[in-house]
């Protein structure tokens, strides 16, 4: 008993430190492009060559080699859309392995070239910003149009680049790219950039103890800087959307029909609209199959699927996850993996598709008989993990209770969060536009603008 509890704990902590597994870089694509030496002319345009850019729809991000995860790319796109809505500026992101020159001039030339050929910013205002990162060259460059010079002078760019370097040195590309775009957004919104510590101070600063970190967070909470506000606004928008769909899922689960998961409980990313029917290899029921082997085999057979595509799978207890997340979870706990939600032992390889099927059908509860509550509580926990300042532990506890059935975002306990959000956003100028849909570039150029780069 104790042994099991201990193992589950290791499982959980191991997984939490490795949470970003679901959108893990697309290996096939990475190997295909790792040696490509890009130029502005050969690099795809995310408004035109959507798939080549590793995206599912027109966007402002092109990442053919999968430098950042899909989750992170979605977060960055959300931030870019919010920047456009709040300030009118257009931001584009180009992520690649190498430029043809491979040095800082190469990064500068390519980002100016893309800025102009994509037409980032409105034509008459030149209010565009292009951020380029060349992973294997270890170069980054931010190019600004003339209309962005006031908000983003070169010394501000230098600060943004300096802030990203520690993350890049630790190869945290997701976090680095998210931070650069957040920082660009904050500066464009007229917020004052914090002073950057020197390299040695910065390194010591990151080595703070847990107590030190807690104290820092405490003070950050009191003296909310512009940077905190920007993160808060982004987290609020995303968490609120998740909470609304979670409420909808709960209402469906309570109704007469069976509930169908439409997103992965671990990474919270949506499943693709309708997974095509698949032919599964049959596993002999009297032979204990090697679960990982079977699962990995299926995964190899399907290696040709679209990069970054979500594949929903159902595990033996009936809970659904995306394949990447659950396989990574199982790798963490390979000796005796259990369902992250209900803790039932995972007794066979995850089955692709939305419904339990195969020889084990009779043993599985139907989705309508399954209690949604444990999944609800688990998902709230994940929301706390991704959006700690919005979905607080207090809210997780309150909302996980069976008796709480109201829409989460209407709960009075959420109103403090909502009014904080409103206080940050009502003063900002609105330029219309939707948060979810990506805007098109407006034909702006980098002519007469600024720019700054650096290596790490």
Q: Which is nearer to Zn ion, 40 or 320 (CB)?
A: 320
Determine the 3-state secondary structure of 455 from DSSP. Answer: strand
* CB closer to Zn ion out of 264 and 391: 264
Residues found near Zn ion in the complex (CB under 5 A): 22, 264, 266-267, 317, 319, 322, 325, 339, 341-342, 344
Structure tokens that stand for 366 in this block: 């139907």
CB 270, min distance to Zn ion, A? 10
Long-range pairs for 194-201: beta carbons < 8 A, 24 or more residues apart: 194/159, 194/225, 194/227, 195/159, 196/159, 196/162, 196/163
Question: Least distance from C-beta 176 to Zn ion, angstroms?
Answer: 22
* Closer of 75 and 341 to Zn ion (Cβ): 341
Rg (CA), the chain: 23
Task: Identify which of residues 140 and 339 has a Cβ nearer to Zn ion in the complex.
Answer: 339
Alpha-carbon span 326 to 4, nearest angstrom: 20
Nearest distance from residue 373's CB to Zn ion, in Å? 12
Q: Write down the residue that tokens 């099991």 correspond to.
A: 4
Q: How far is the CB of 348 from Zn ion (least distance, A)?
A: 13
First-to-last C-alpha distance (Å) of the chain: 49
Name 143's bridge partners: 130, 451
Rank residues 107 and 322 by Cβ distance to Zn ion and give the closer one. 322
* Nearest to Zn ion of 152, 315 (CB atom): 315
Write down the least CB distance from residue 127 to Zn ion, Å: 36
Maximal C-alpha separation, the chain: 72
Burial-class residue 50 by CB neighbours within 10 Å (0-12, 13-18, 19+). Answer: middle
Our CB check for Zn ion shows the closer of 196 and 342 to be 342
Q: In angstroms, what CA-CA distances link 177 with 92, 168, 200, 390, 438?
A: 12, 9, 22, 22, 18
Helix, strand, or coil here: 172? Answer: coil
Least Å distance, CB 222 to Zn ion, is 36
- Show the CA angle centred on residue 418, arms to residues 415 and 422, nearest 5°: 135
Shortest spacing between CB 324 and Zn ion, in angstroms: 6
The smaller minimum CB distance to Zn ion, of residues 29 and 70, is found at 70
| Beta carbon of residue 437, minimum distance to Zn ion (angstroms, whole number) | 24
Closest approach, Cβ 314 to Zn ion, in A, equals: 10
DSSP codes joined into one string, 375-418: HHHHHHHHHHHH-TTTS-HHHHHHHHSTT--S-GGGSGGGHHHH
Least Å distance between CB 398 and Zn ion?
Answer: 24
Backbone phi and psi for residue 111, each to the nearest 5 degrees, phi listed first: -70, -35
Alpha-carbon distance of 57 to 67, in angstroms, equals: 18
Q: Which is nearer to Zn ion, 106 or 356 (CB)?
A: 356
CA nearest neighbour of 395 among 369, 414, 374? 414
11/264 with CB nearer Zn ion:
264
Q: Is 432 left (phi over 0), alpha (psi -120 to 50) or beta?
A: left
Q: Helix 226-254 vs helix 415-425: angle between axes, to the nearest 10 degrees?
A: 130
């Amino acid at each position: 008993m104790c042994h099991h509890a201990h193992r589950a704990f290791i499982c959980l902590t191991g997984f939490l430190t490795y949470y970003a597994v679901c959108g893990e870089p697309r290996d096939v694509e990475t190997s295909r492009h790792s040696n490509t030496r890009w130029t502005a002319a050969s690099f795809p345009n995310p408004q035109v060559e959507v798939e080549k850019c590793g995206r599912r729809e027109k966007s402002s991000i092109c990442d053919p080699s999968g430098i950042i995860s899909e989750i992170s790319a979605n977060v960055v796109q959300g931030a870019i859309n919010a920047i456009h809505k709040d300030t009118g500026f257009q931001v584009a992101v180009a992520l690649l392995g190498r430029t043809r020159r491979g040095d800082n001039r190469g990064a500068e030339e390519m980002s100016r070239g893309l800025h102009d050929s994509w037409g980032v910013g409105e034509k008459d205002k030149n209010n565009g910003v292009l951020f380029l990162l060349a992973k294997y060259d270890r170069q980054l460059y931010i190019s600004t149009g003339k209309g962005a010079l006031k908000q983003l002078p070169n010394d501000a760019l230098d600060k943004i680049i300096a802030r990203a370097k520690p993350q890049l040195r630790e190869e945290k590309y997701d976090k680095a790219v998210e931070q650069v775009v957040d920082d660009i957004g904050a500066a464009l919104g007229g917020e004052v950039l914090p002073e950057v510590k020197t390299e040695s101070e910065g390194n010591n600063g990151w080595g703070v103890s847990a107590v030190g970190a807690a104290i820092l967070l405490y003070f950050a909470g009191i003296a909310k800087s512009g940077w905190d506000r920007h993160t808060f606004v982004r987290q609020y928008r995303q968490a609120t959307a998740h909470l609304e769909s979670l409420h909808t899922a709960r209402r469906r689960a309570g109704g007469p029909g069976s509930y169908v998961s439409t997103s992965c409980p671990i990474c919270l990313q949506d499943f693709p609209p309708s997974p095509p029917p698949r032919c599964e290899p049959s596993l002999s029921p009297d032979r204990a199959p090697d679960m990982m082997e079977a699962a990995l085999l299926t995964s190899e057979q399907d290696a040709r699927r679209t990069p970054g595509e979500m594949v929903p799978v159902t595990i033996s207890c009936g809970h659904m996850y995306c394949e990447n997340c659950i396989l990574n979870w199982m790798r963490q706990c390979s000796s005796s993996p259990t369902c992250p939600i209900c803790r039932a032992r995972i007794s066979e390889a995850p089955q692709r598709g939305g419904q339990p099927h195969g020889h084990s059908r009779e043993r599985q509860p139907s989705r309508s008989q399954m209690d949604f509550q444990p999944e609800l509580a688990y998902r709230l926990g994940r929301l706390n993990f991704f959006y700690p300042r919005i979905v607080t532990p207090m809210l997780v506890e309150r909302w996980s209770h069976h008796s709480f059935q109201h829409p989460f975002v209407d709960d009075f306990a959420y109103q403090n969060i909502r009014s904080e959000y409103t206080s940050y956003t009502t003063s900002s100028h609105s330029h219309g536009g939707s948060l979810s849909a990506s805007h098109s570039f407006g034909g702006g150029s980098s002519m007469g603008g600024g720019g700054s780069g650096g290596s790490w």
